Amino acid sequence: MGVEICVEGLTKSFGHQVIWQDVSLTLPAGEVSVMLGPSGTGKSVFLKTLVGLLKPDRGSVKVAGRDITKLREHELYEVRKLFGVLFQDGALFGSMSLYDNIAFPLREHTRKSESQIRRIVLDKMDMVGLIGSEGKLPGEISGGMRKRAGLARALVLDPEIILFDEPDSGLDPVRVAYLNQLIVDLNAQINATFLIVTHDIASARQVPDNIGLLFRRELVMFGPREELLTSDEPVVRQFLNGRMQGPIGMAEEKDAAQVEQELARLGDADRKPRHVGNDMTPRLMPGPGIARPPRWEAIARREAELHRKAVTGA
Ligand SMILES: Nc1ncnc2c1ncn2[C@@H]1O[C@H](COP(=O)(O)OP(=O)(O)O)[C@@H](O)[C@H]1O
Ligand SMILES: [Mg+2]
């Protein structure tokens, strides 16, 4: 049913380079959260720290109540089985068929028979829409299909938590839209806790329950989607609206003077809070035929209310 991940005071550096510090957030069980941030802000490092592949300098990561930063290697191995990870490049073995790639974790970590494995692999391939491509090699298929194969592989051990590292990178907008729908559908079907790292604003606006933003070595904000989408925090607003003006520059960080100038130029109109609703993108709902988990009732009500406010301005 998905487990909660509770991060407290997490700090990570490599040598003298602090990547991020004092990050605290809770990923609610069964919900979809997105972590946004410009390139190089340490999003991948964050995911690797959550699964215990990297050790933080300080802080704790509690997975279902157990602090994984304190576990020994063999205990960590057990906790890691709760996680499915979709790495940025799909991380498929190039010389193996999709079938064998997806079967790999089952053959490595379980004693299931080949017929049991076959049932699971075909079930997961069906979930991600890859039936018929069992014999294909990763090099013979599109980037979108490779992501879906990586996702099927992340699903075979029935994870409680799935981490996605930039699932949308390298895909065209249509494929990103399909993948986002797939993510929403999967979450409704398996109810695992999802964390998606991305710098794609459109995905961040449509897909998650919660959004976080990493910037300048800090977690600027983390909270429910509506809160971030209607926030007045300058970095959050700039990032979620994809603007040129604001604290985030091409070189990721602009100097303070330039930020001041731009904020001054923005003027009052743009700094005022807008109507709730104006900034609201509708949330992606699970597709037809997919039973919605109970929390979707509340989401649908909130969506309807925001829509009403946007239309009536009240
Ligand atoms: N194993 C490592 N050793 C040293 N530096 C690293 C290591 N992994 C990542 N970094 C550094 O951490 C920073 C953040 O990297 P990364 O997490 O890949 O950013 P993002 O995924 O947000 O683009 C980069 O400056 C990168 O060079
Ligand atoms: Mg990365």
Q: If you write DSSP's letter for every residue of 240-309 in order, what string do you get?
A: HHT-SSSSEETTEE--HHHHHHHHHHHHHHHHSPPPTTTTPPPPPPPPTTPPPPTHHHHHHHHHHHHHHH
What DSSP designation does 160 have? S
Verify whether ligand 1 is closer than 6 Å to residue 151 (CB atom).
Answer: no
Kindly give the distance from the C-alpha atom of residue 291 to the centroid of ligand 2, in angstroms, as a whole number: 33
Helix (H/G/I), strand (E/B), else coil: 120: helix
Verify whether ligand 1 is closer than 6 Å to residue 258 (CB atom).
Answer: no
- The backbone region for 118, taken as left when phi is positive above 0, alpha when psi lies in -120 to 50, beta otherwise, is alpha
Verify whether ligand 1 is closer than 6 Å to residue 19 (CB atom).
Answer: yes
CA dihedral (195, 295, 239, 51) in degrees, to 10, reads -10
Mutate to test the pocket of ligand 1, among 34, 35, 45, 217 (most ligand atoms within 8 A of CB): 45
Cβ burial of 256 (10 Å; 0-12, 13-18, 19+) is exposed
Beta-carbon contacts of 234 under 8 Å, excluding residues fewer than 6 positions away, are 246, 247, 263
Mutate to test the pocket of ligand 1, among 14, 217, 248 (most ligand atoms within 8 A of CB): 14
Helix H, strand E, coil C: the string for 36-104 is: ECCCCCCHHHHHHHHCCCCCCCEEEEEECCEEHHHCCHHHHHHHHCCEEEECCCCCCCCCCCHHHHHHH
Verify whether ligand 1 is closer than 6 Å to residue 37 (CB atom).
Answer: yes
At 222 the pLDDT is 96
Tokens of 251: 């070189």
At 51 the pLDDT is 94
Q: How many CA atoms lie within 13 A of 309 on its CB side?
A: 16
Minimum-distance ligand 1 atom for the alpha carbon of 48: 17
Verify whether ligand 1 is closer than 6 Å to residue 207 (CB atom).
Answer: no
**pTM (global) more than 0.85:** yes
Task: Go through the chain and tell me how many residues it has.
Answer: 314
Environment of ion ligand 2 (residues, CB < 5 A): 44
Closest to 185 (Cα-Cα) out of 33, 291, 82, 35: 291
Mutate to test the pocket of ligand 1, among 11, 20, 44, 197 (most ligand atoms within 8 A of CB): 44
Kindly give the distance from the C-alpha atom of residue 197 to the centroid of ligand 2, in angstroms, as a whole number: 8
Verify whether ligand 1 is closer than 6 Å to residue 41 (CB atom).
Answer: yes
Cβ–Cβ < 8 Å for 49, 30: no
At 240 the pLDDT is 80
At 6 the pLDDT is 97
Kindly give the distance from the C-alpha atom of residue 284 to the centroid of ligand 1, in angstroms, as a whole number: 31
Verify whether ligand 1 is closer than 6 Å to residue 40 (CB atom).
Answer: yes
Report d(CA 188, CA 186) in Å as an integer.
5
Could you read off the pLDDT tens digit of each residue along the chain, which spans 314 residues?
789 999 999 999 999 999 999 999 999 999 999 999 888 899 999 999 999 999 999 999 999 889 999 999 899 988 988 999 998 766 899 999 999 999 999 999 899 999 999 999 999 999 999 999 999 999 999 888 999 999 999 999 999 999 999 998 888 888 899 999 999 999 999 989 999 999 888 888 899 999 999 998 999 999 999 888 888 888 888 888 766 556 666 555 555 555 556 555 544 444 444 443 446 778 888 888 888 777 887 777 877 777 777 777 76
Beta-carbon contacts of 177 under 8 Å, excluding residues fewer than 6 positions away, are none
Question: 5-231 domain in CATH 3.40.47.10?
Answer: no
Report d(CA 290, CA 248) in Å as an integer.
39
Structure confidence by residue, pLDDT tens digits, 12-27:
999 999 999 999 999 9
